Structure 1
Amino acid sequence: MTPRVIALDLDGTLLTPAKTLLPASLNALARAKEAGFLPVIVTGRHHVAIHPFYQALALDTPAICCNGTYSYDYHAKKVIESDPLPVDQALQLIELLNEHNVHALMYVDEAMVYEQPTGHVLRTRDWSLRLPVAQRPTFTQVDSLAQTATEVNAIWKFALTDENSDKLNAFALHVEQTLGLECERSWHDQVDIARRGNSKGMRLAQWVASQGMTMQDVVAFGDNFNDISMLEAAGTGVAMGNAEEAVKARADVVIGDNTTDAIADYLYSHLL
């Protein structure tokens, strides 16, 4: 069956290590749209942090954000479907973060907030400062994540970072066991925490069904553990060459890494 939906993770997949889109990828996806395919961004990012890519790709499909916590209509500027964290669970998580001295970026409403400027926060902030003002995401340092959690409308997810991978993994397991939240690794030094049941695969399947299709109509591209749910659910799951071996093992196809024209080559040879 020929896919009709092209689901694309951003970091480590469609984006190069320099957070840019390859010209070949842009051209191939433009050709795919002309041929009637539906490209969809499925990312761990907040919707405020994907403006330049969504606009460069000239999409009209919703963006699936924060590992499937919600889908966002860029043209109407509104959240479509969502399952944010309940405030009480967010406060319990923040208490654990403080107890274990783990720093987090909290994704809320239209912004990302933090108490301590960790390496992840600084890297993302520095990247955002290179963008045109209208495309820059909002990063705000706050005195208290707990206080902020009680003041916002929605808490999408927490992004945890620590240079000690073992510590981060152990903390994520503790959170899963004690709070029953969804913990997924999204980068080599980052674990994302969201409400149980949220995943890229779940939210993508929800949108695909709303369009009268099934996941067999989807070819999905990803590179990290938070992509496995959609790689396995899609008719064809494509892992990048730079993906972890455990991720590659869950995909149907493995292509070149995100510094090459591997995505464009796959689209031309299998879809176009």
Structure 2
Amino acid sequence: MEATPRLIASDIDGTLLRDDHSLSAHTAAVLTRIAGRGTPVVLVTGRPIRWLRTVYDQLAEPLPAVCANGAVVYDPVNDEVLRADPLAPELLAEVARRLRAEVPGVRLAVEIVDSRQMRHEADYPLRWDADEAAIRVVETPDELHSMPAVKLLARAEEHPDPERFTALVAGAVAGLAEATHSSYSGLVEISAAGVTKAAGLAWYCHRLGVDASDVLAFGDMPNDVPMLTWAGRAVAVANAHPAVLAVADDVTSANSVDGVATYLEKVFGVD
């Protein structure tokens, strides 16, 4: 990419946000200036819609988002889902059956209603939002796949190595769904076949008339790899997973020191 990018796409956690999940005033200001000059800035994240408010509260204006690893494209201004690509109940049931049969100790949860709600098995270990009204334990395992889900979540305390656990889950769902991970906590995220951050971002860019070659993308974890290989210029933060560093065209400083903002200032000449 030699020309100025026509669209900026950035992962959130571990990339745009600092390790305490805060967005620095510096980074927020840079994003605001670039968007104000007419270059779209899109958040591309594994987060569900209900987890975006904590980010939007730190921005001058909310930014469009590709959520749930590409399964949901969200317009925050109108609180509107522009596109959703969920796992159908029949497919979800088969994926869950395979996981229970082939992955010892697996615990499952689903993101439903375009990721505004979550349902989980009783022994599924919750992290961020255990107390939210949108989160509920299912009464029977079959309830997990009674309606479309934009993401199936798998955890297993018996498999502490995230790389090996992801490989195990990916093998179990091969040919049916996509499996990836975006943290080191032992969580594997499963989407419908072909649903990735790249696919969701490509749909949004097509809507705006922006080619992949004109996109500058930032990321840090394996779920960012499809987006980074699709974009015209891929930038990893210094703290990125080795799989991301391997595909990146460039590396900026770490998320803890405003690596994305620093890179954008150089590209766009803003400070």
TM surpasses 0.5: yes
Q: Distance in 2 between matches of 1:195 and 1:68?
A: 10
Q: 2:152–2:191: 8 Å Cα contact kept in structure 1? A: yes
The residue type equivalent to 1:186 in the other structure is: S
Q: 1:176–1:182: 8 Å Cα contact kept in structure 2? A: yes
Counterpart in 2 of 1:221? 218
The residue type equivalent to 1:149 in the other structure is: H
Q: How many residues align?
A: 259
Query: Which runs of no fewer than 5 residues in structure 2 stay unpaired?
Result: none
The residue type equivalent to 2:222 in the other structure is: F
State the Cα deviation string for residues 94-147 of structure 1 (Å, max 9, x = none).
22343332112210002012113544x2x3126xx6xxxxxx672222223422
Q: How does 1:118-267 map to 2 (within 5 A)?
A: 118-119=124-125, 121=126, 123-125=127-129, 138-150=134-146, 152=147, 154-163=148-157, 164=159, 165=161, 168-177=165-174, 179-188=175-184, 189-267=186-264
Counterpart in 1 of 2:118? 112
Q: Work out which of the residue numbers 28, 31, 44 in structure 1 matches 2:30.
A: 28
Q: Distance in 1 between matches of 2:109 and 2:12?
A: 19
Compared CA separation, residues 39 and 181, structure 1 to 2 (3 A): same
Q: 1:158–1:192: 8 Å Cα contact kept in structure 2? A: yes
Q: CA deviation at 1:6?
A: 1.2
Q: Say which SS state the counterpart of residue 249 (structure 1) adopts.
A: helix
Q: Distance in 1 between matches of 2:230 and 2:97?
A: 35
Q: How does 1:4-153 map to 2 (within 5 A)?
A: 4-59=6-61, 61-99=63-101, 100-109=104-113, 110-116=116-122, 118-119=124-125, 121=126, 123-125=127-129, 138-150=134-146, 152=147
| Identical residues among aligned pairs (%) | 31
Q: 2:31–2:41: 8 Å Cα contact kept in structure 1? A: yes
Query: Which runs of no fewer than 5 residues in structure 1 stay unpaired?
Result: 130-135
Q: Distance in 1 between matches of 2:76 and 2:176?
A: 31
Q: 2:91–2:176: 8 Å Cα contact kept in structure 1? A: no
Structure with the largest fraction of helix:
1
Q: CA deviation at 1:58?
A: 4.1
Quote the RMSD (CA, aligned, Å): 2.1
TM-score by length of 2: 0.87
Q: Distance in 2 between matches of 1:24 and 1:200?
A: 26
TM-score by length of 1: 0.87
Q: 2:110–2:144: 8 Å Cα contact kept in structure 1? A: no
State the Cα deviation string for residues 190-221 of structure 1 (Å, max 9, x = none).
21111000111111111111111111221111
Compared CA separation, residues 33 and 137, structure 1 to 2 (3 A): farther
Q: Say which SS state the counterpart of residue 25 (structure 1) adopts.
A: helix
The residue type equivalent to 1:114 in the other structure is: H
